[in-house]
């Protein structure tokens, strides 16, 4: 009996070596799991090793390339869908006309399918290779177009990598301090994507803001073979900035405060003296377009003196160019309908602006077919590079969204906002001459609602949106069911004796109503208080500024209010 008990106790003894082995196995398993979860992804090189990789501005975008990259006769061809995706989102392929229309920051270009002679911003130049077609797709000889897009293109046959760098971006190179591997990810356990020797040149892979990409002491670089990876920051030296970022800055460094200085084509430009408080941009009505695409310029000696007066006071001059003289919606449609007529008008605009010595332009096209929305966008897309090449600012006037076909639906506000330096929301007429009921010209609630639409559904950047405000209102008259109205300038508003004005919290305006000679009169007053409310919206939504229609309709006191609200050109008393 005792022997049996003793045997059982011996069997119950712990087998220490076996337990240790099991613990070791579990630890190894856990380590393998950790490696798979944490380390292995960093160790694996990118999956496009068997394809030509495309690196644009230090980003490997091979995954997003839609067409095969073709390399023939030392020339790189990219499909138009990829050029559109990476270099020019507004590239247009006109298959019927067998040509491509493309733009860059400073150039508007037409590339025929079957010729090496291309049109570049008003001139014809020759390139070395034609556009080609493969498998039903159109390919552009991107190597020949480097100057057009202001890019530098390199191809490494060793790594099968194409690199494209914008020459507008900052470019910094460094030297390797020792022989080392360039890691796929910022960790010692990651696989090498390339190896460099001591003294080799590396390119810092800066982000789009031109900043170094550093993670835990590792810095992102690009090798001469085009490989992107990481090295220890302490293992590089001799940092050299090859080029600084080149910005074509045609926008103001402060909020815009623009006043339109309107005068008709039948009179001369106004004579201005002294300084207007609260503004930094003036927009005289110098130009109208004609049905032929020519410019009817009403400048003369007074206009030249006007530009000199503005510049002497530090104001920018963005003359307005309008299609209102045409008086015919079809004439505008014809000009916008094809590249040749748009280009003719654009050449004339640039010529006039340069000769006048102004700083930009305010494009005010109204009354257009909804069907011409894309053609109008093309006009602005093709105009912008020509103006920027000359250092001129482009502002475009648009109405509130969601209105009538020829007044509102004719604008693609998203495209216009992307392309132009500024988009100006004409915050009037909420109720205009054709309204069937009396109402405000520009209530603050309506203006705010539309600001939200611009920033939301229309996708306009807040630092490009300018809100235009009226220096006028309307006096509504109701007689026996008939409604009429007349424009009353802000400075001319008068409240009849015995009539009390009442504050309307929604419109942020004073309202008055009275009976006279059998008629009912109504007015939502534009004054200093209503203007303050709209200027507050500019600041609330951090918008680009305000604009005012138009000079000499205002009360003198508004300029100090504008100056204070927009923090522009405050004249010390």
Q: Where are the beta strands (DSSP E) in 123-254?
A: 123-126, 132-134, 137-141, 151-156, 161-166, 171-176, 180-183, 192-196, 201-204, 214-215, 218-222, 228-232, 236-243
* DSSP-based three-state secondary structure for 216: coil
Q: Nearest CA to 509 among 472, 479, 562? A: 472
Instruction: Note the pLDDT of residue 422.
Output: 98
Per residue of the chain (573 residues), what is the pLDDT tens digit?
Answer: 455 445 545 555 556 677 777 788 877 877 666 655 555 555 555 567 789 999 999 999 999 999 999 999 899 999 999 999 999 999 999 999 999 999 999 999 999 999 999 999 999 999 999 999 999 999 999 999 999 999 999 999 999 999 999 999 999 999 999 999 999 999 998 999 999 999 999 999 999 999 999 999 999 999 999 999 999 999 999 999 999 998 878 999 999 999 999 999 899 999 999 999 999 999 999 999 999 999 999 999 999 999 999 999 999 999 999 999 888 899 999 999 999 999 999 999 999 999 999 999 999 999 999 999 999 999 999 999 999 999 999 999 999 998 899 999 999 999 999 999 999 999 999 999 999 999 999 999 999 999 999 999 999 999 999 999 999 999 999 999 999 999 999 999 999 999 999 999 999 999 999 999 999 999 999 999 999 999 999 999 999 999 999 999 999 999 999 999 999 976 654
Domain locations along the chain: 53-152, 169-243, 256-566
Instruction: Note the pLDDT of residue 40.
Output: 52
What is d(CA 231, CA 234) in angstroms, rounded to the nearest whole number?
8
Instruction: Note the pLDDT of residue 33.
Output: 61
What is d(CA 385, CA 150) in angstroms, rounded to the nearest whole number?
13
User: DSSP class of residue 234?
Assistant: G
CA 224, 228, 234, 240 torsion: positive or negative?
positive
* DSSP-based three-state secondary structure for 299: coil
What per-residue string of b and e applies to 72-99 under the rule 16 or more CB within 10 Å gives b?
A: eeeebbbbbebbbbbbbebbbbeeeeeb
Q: Which CATH class is domain 53-152?
A: alpha beta
The total of other beta-carbon atoms located within 10 Å of residue 148's CB is 24
SS (H, E, C) 423-458: EEEECCCCCCCCCCCCCCCCCHHHHHHHHHHHHCCC
CATH number of this structure's domain 256-566, picked from the four choices 1.10.357.10, 3.90.190.10, 3.20.20.80, 3.40.190.290 = 3.20.20.80
Cβ contact 454:448 at 8 Å: no
Q: Nearest CA to 426 among 490, 493, 472? A: 472
Helix (H) or strand (E) holding 199: none
Look up the pTM and report it: 0.91
58: left (phi over 0), alpha (psi -120 to 50) or beta: left
Task: Extract the tokens encoding 146.
Answer: 């480097």
SS (H, E, C) 326-376: HCCHHHHHHHHCCHHHHHHHHHHHHHHHHHHCCCEEEEECCCCCHHHHHHH
What is d(CA 509, CA 490) in angstroms, rounded to the nearest whole number?
13
Instruction: Note the pLDDT of residue 34.
Output: 60
What is d(CA 25, CA 28) in angstroms, rounded to the nearest whole number?
5
What φ, ψ does residue 301 adopt, rounded to 5°? -65, -40
3-state helix, strand, coil in the chain (%, to 5): 30, 30, 40
The total of other beta-carbon atoms located within 10 Å of residue 264's CB is 7
Instruction: Note the pLDDT of residue 247.
Output: 81
Cβ contact 423:465 at 8 Å: yes
Domain 169-243 belongs to what topology?
Answer: SH3 type barrels. (2.30.30)
The total of other beta-carbon atoms located within 10 Å of residue 130's CB is 18
Cβ contact 268:209 at 8 Å: no
* DSSP-based three-state secondary structure for 303: helix
Task: Extract the tokens encoding 11.
Answer: 């069997």
What is d(CA 420, CA 394) in angstroms, rounded to the nearest whole number?
5
* DSSP-based three-state secondary structure for 104: coil
* Domains 53-152 and 169-243 equal at CATH topology level: no
């Amino acid at each position: 009996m005792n022997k049996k008990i003793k045997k059982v106790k011996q069997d119950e003894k712990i087998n220490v070596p076996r337990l240790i082995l099991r613990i070791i196995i579990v630890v190894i398993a856990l380590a393998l799991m950790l490696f798979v979860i944490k380390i292995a992804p960093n160790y694996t090189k990118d999956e496009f090793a068997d394809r030509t990789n495309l690196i644009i501005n230090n980003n490997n975008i091979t995954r997003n390339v839609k067409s095969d990259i073709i390399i023939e006769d030392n020339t790189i061809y990219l499909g138009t869908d990829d050029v559109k995706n990476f270099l020019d989102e507004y590239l247009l392929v006109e298959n019927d006309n067998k040509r491509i229309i493309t733009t860059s920051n400073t150039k508007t270009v037409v590339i025929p399918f079957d010729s090496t002679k291309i049109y570049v911003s008003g001139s014809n130049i020759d390139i070395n290779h034609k556009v080609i077609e493969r498998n039903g797709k159109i390919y552009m000889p991107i190597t020949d177009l480097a100057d057009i897009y202001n890019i530098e293109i390199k191809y490494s046959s060793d790594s099968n990598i194409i690199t494209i760098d914008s020459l507008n971006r900052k470019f910094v190179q460094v030297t390797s301090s020792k022989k080392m591997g360039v890691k796929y990810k910022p960790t010692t356990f990651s696989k090498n994507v390339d190896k460099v020797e001591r003294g080799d040149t590396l390119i810092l892979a800066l982000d789009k803001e031109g900043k170094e990409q550093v993670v835990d002491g590792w810095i992102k670089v690009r090798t001469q073979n085009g490989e992107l990876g990481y090295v220890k920051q302490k293992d590089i030296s001799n940092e050299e900035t090859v080029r600084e970022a080149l910005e074509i800055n045609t926008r103001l460094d402060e909020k815009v405060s623009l006043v339109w200085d309107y005068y008709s084509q039948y009179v001369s430009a106004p004579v201005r003296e002294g300084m207007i408080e609260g503004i930094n941009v003036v927009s005289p009505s110098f130009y109208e377009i004609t049905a032929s695409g020519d410019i009817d310029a009403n400048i003369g000696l007074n206009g030249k003196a006007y530009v000199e007066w503005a510049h002497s006071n530090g104001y920018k001059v963005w003359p307005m160019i309008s299609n209102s003289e045409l008086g015919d919606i079809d004439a505008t449609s014809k000009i916008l309908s094809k590249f040749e007529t748009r280009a003719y008008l654009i050449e004339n605009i640039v010529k006039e602006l340069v000769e006048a010595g102004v700083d930009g332009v305010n494009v005010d096209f109204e009354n257009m077919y909804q069907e011409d929305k894309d053609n109008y966008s093309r006009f602005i897309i093709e105009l912008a590079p020509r103006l920027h090449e000359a250092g001129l600012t482009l502002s475009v006037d648009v109405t509130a969204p969601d209105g009538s076909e020829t007044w509102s639906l004719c604008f693609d506000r998203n495209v216009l906002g992307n392309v132009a330096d500024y988009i100006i929301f004409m915050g009037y007429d909420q109720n205009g001459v054709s309204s069937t009921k009396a109402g405000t010209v520009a209530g603050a609630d309506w203006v705010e609602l539309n600001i939200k639409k611009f920033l939301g559904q229309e996708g306009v950047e807040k630092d490009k949106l300018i809100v235009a405000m009226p220096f006028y209102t309307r006096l509504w008259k109701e007689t026996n069911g008939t409604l009429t109205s007349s424009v009353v300038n802000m400075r001319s508003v008068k409240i009849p004796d015995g009539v009390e004005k009442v504050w309307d919290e929604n419109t942020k305006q004073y309202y008055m109503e009275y009976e006279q000679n059998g008629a009912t009169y109504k007015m939502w007053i534009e004054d200093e208080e209503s203007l303050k409310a709209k200027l507050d919206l500019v600041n609330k939504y951090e918008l680009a500024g305000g604009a005012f229609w138009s000079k000499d309709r205002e009360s003198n006191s508004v300029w100090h209010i504008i100056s204070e609200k927009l923090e522009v050109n405050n004249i010390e008393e």
